[in-house]
Chain A
Amino acid sequence: MTIDRALQLLNAELDGELSASDRVELQELLAARPELHTQREALRDLTRCLQRAADLEPPPGMTQRLLSSIRLPVRRRMSWSLPRWQLNPRALPFAALATALMVAVGSYWSLPPNSMVGDSAAMVGSMVRDQSQAGMELQDRLALDLDELSGEVTLATAAAGTRLLEFELASSDAVDIAISLAGSGLVFGGFSQGENSVDLIASDAATLRLRSHGERHFGVILHAPATANATGSSSIGLEFSGQQKSLFKGELKAP
């Protein structure tokens, strides 16, 4: 047995890495060689010394500097996105049918048409039971391919005059979405899906403001009130902004 072996065992003991057989061996060594107790104390003293050394506090603002310098990867597009429908006109009826099926089986949520706009608590949770709304037809779409934001927005109409705005977005930072309904004859009728993945910032009769962050998929239901002409053309303005600057402005139209 060498002195090195004894010190190895003392180090392992200090680090809590002694096996049962090592422990027996160390106890025998300590009994046979009293000078090892001094070595043992020296190691313990060193450890106490290192433990007392103060930790370095992160400098003020370090967390924010780190967060602002890190860009997270953003998935560009989900595999089932819609552009192919428009590339091949013959596929459009199938796409519309697929949308209708999605609406039918997807447990869409909305408010009754006469619900008060702006009551965010009431906007979520009323299930659409009128399956006539399932006859959705894709009318328009916007593709987004910016550094800060990618994805697409589609506008579909239902037989009952209800419009469905469907968002499929990915962004590395929070993005504010302003949906302008002024002149469209439409009012916000609730979320069709994904209501938990998007923040409702504000809404009034003319504008709905949402905040999306990361990869989000959600649908917004728009109703034509009974007093409005539900068969008229609807133009819906969209503006996306992030970090206090406008990123993209566009319009969706449903004839």
Chain B
Amino acid sequence: MFLSSDDLALIERCRIGDRRALQLLVERYQRPVLNAAFRILGNREDAADATQTTFLKVFEHLDRYDAKYKLFSWIYRIAVNESIDQLHRNRQLQDLDDNEASDADGPEEQTASARLSHQVQEALMVLGEEYRVVLVLRHFSECSYEQIGEILNLPEKTVKSRIYMARQQLNSLLVARGVSQV
């Protein structure tokens, strides 16, 4: 997914206090982290909070980063854990918040992709966490099975079976909502 051969160089620069390197890393990863958090949490504000906490933890523990792992795997692991923790802290987020459901525009003003995004998010939130997370990493973060295994510390075989089960469930939910064709 992320081709970031210079991640390590940026990390080294951050370790000596170079804030320009920090900015480059934040700009590189904030959007994918925000989107992964949003798909797991189903709420914009909490996704932004989880993203902020993720980056705070990443840079607070920069000295613990082991270069044998890809940087994005490490960031995603923190982001996923932070999102799940936040989900547990606030179970009411199982329901989509009103802001997300309606947003600033009425349904007729929403773009087709925004409407679809909302319907997909509704269906995702019905899935169990373990299924939602693998689907988010696979489809929205475009991680390979191996990368997902590294992020979630799971065997690849488990990743495969979870993705398979998650797709079955999600497809059924979307078909029931008239979103998916089959």
**B-contacting residues of A (Cβ < 8 Å)?**
7-8, 11-12, 15, 17, 38, 41-43, 45-47, 49-59, 62-63, 65-67, 69-75, 170-174, 213-215
Give bound CA distance, A8 to B62, whole Å. 38
Q: Say how far A149's CB is from chain B's closest CB, in angstroms.
A: 10
Residues of B within 8 A of A42 (CB): 171, 180, 182
Q: Are B16 and A75 in contact (CB under 8 A)?
A: yes
Stretch at the interface among B30-38, B68-76, B86-94: B30-38
Size category, B interface: 35 or more
Residues of B within 8 A of A215 (CB): 16-17
Q: Say how far A90's CB is from chain B's closest CB, in angstroms.
A: 34
Give bound CA distance, A63 to B15, whole Å. 20
Which of A45, A50, A73 touches B181 (beta carbons < 8 Å)?
Answer: A45
Residues of B within 8 A of A59 (CB): 44, 48
Which of A50, A54, A74 is packed against the most chain B CB atoms within 10 Å?
A50
Q: Say how far B160's CB is from chain A's closest CB, in angstroms.
A: 7
Which of A38, A172, A173, A214 is packed against the most chain B CB atoms within 10 Å?
A214
Give bound CA distance, A84 to B163, whole Å. 61
Fill in one digit per residue for B3-17: 1 if any A CB lies within 8 Å of its CB, else 0.
000000000011111
Residues of A within 8 A of B120 (CB): 49-50, 53
Q: Are B116 and A46 in contact (CB under 8 A)?
A: no
Which residue of B has the minimal Cβ distance to A170? B17
Q: Does B133 contact A (CB under 8 A)?
A: no
Which residue of B has the minimal Cβ distance to A46? B171
6 closest pairs, A vs B, by CB? A42-B182, A214-B17, A53-B117, A54-B113, A54-B117, A215-B16
Which of B22, B38, B167, B180 touches A72 (beta carbons < 8 Å)?
Answer: B22
Residues of A within 8 A of B27 (CB): 63
Known contacts A38-B182, A50-B140, A70-B56, then 4 further A-B pairs from the complex at CB < 8 Å, ordered by chain A residue:
A49-B120, A66-B30, A70-B26, A174-B19
Q: Are B174 and A17 in contact (CB under 8 A)?
A: no
Q: Are A49 and B180 in contact (CB under 8 A)?
A: yes
Q: Are A56 and B34 in contact (CB under 8 A)?
A: yes
Fill in one digit per residue for B167-182: 1 if any A CB lies within 8 Å of its CB, else 0.
1101100100001111
Q: Say how far B105's CB is from chain A's closest CB, in angstroms.
A: 13
Give bound CA distance, A171 to B120, whole Å. 46
Number of residue pairs A-B, CB distance < 8 angstroms: 132
Residues of B within 8 A of A17 (CB): 144-145, 160
Which of A53, A63, A213 touches B30 (beta carbons < 8 Å)?
Answer: A63
Give bound CA distance, A49 to B124, whole Å. 13
Q: Are A11 and B164 in contact (CB under 8 A)?
A: yes
- In B114-146, which residues have CB < 8 Å from any A CB? 114, 116-117, 120-121, 135, 138-140, 144-145
Q: Does B158 contact A (CB under 8 A)?
A: no
Q: What are 19 A-B residue pairs whose CB atoms fall within 8 Å in the complex?
A: A8-B160, A15-B138, A15-B145, A38-B182, A49-B174, A50-B135, A50-B139, A55-B140, A56-B44, A58-B31, A62-B34, A62-B51, A63-B23, A69-B55, A70-B22, A70-B55, A172-B19, A173-B19, A214-B16
Give bound CA distance, A50 to B17, whole Å. 39
Q: Say how far A29's CB is from chain B's closest CB, in angstroms.
A: 15
- In B138-167, which residues have CB < 8 Å from any A CB? 138-140, 144-145, 160-161, 163-164, 167
Q: Say how far B76's CB is from chain A's closest CB, in angstroms.
A: 16
Q: Are B113 and A52 in contact (CB under 8 A)?
A: yes
Give bound CA distance, A75 to B18, whole Å. 11
Q: Say how far A52's CB is from chain B's closest CB, in angstroms.
A: 5
Q: Are A75 and B17 in contact (CB under 8 A)?
A: yes
Given contacts A53-B117, A56-B38, A67-B26, contact A46 B14 (CB under 8 A): no
Q: Are A53 and B116 in contact (CB under 8 A)?
A: yes
Q: Are A62 and B48 in contact (CB under 8 A)?
A: yes
Give bound CA distance, A172 to B164, whole Å. 46
Which of B19, B55, B164, B168 touches A213 (beta carbons < 8 Å)?
Answer: B19
Q: Are B160 and A46 in contact (CB under 8 A)?
A: no
Which of A7, A38, A46, A213 touches B18 (beta carbons < 8 Å)?
Answer: A213
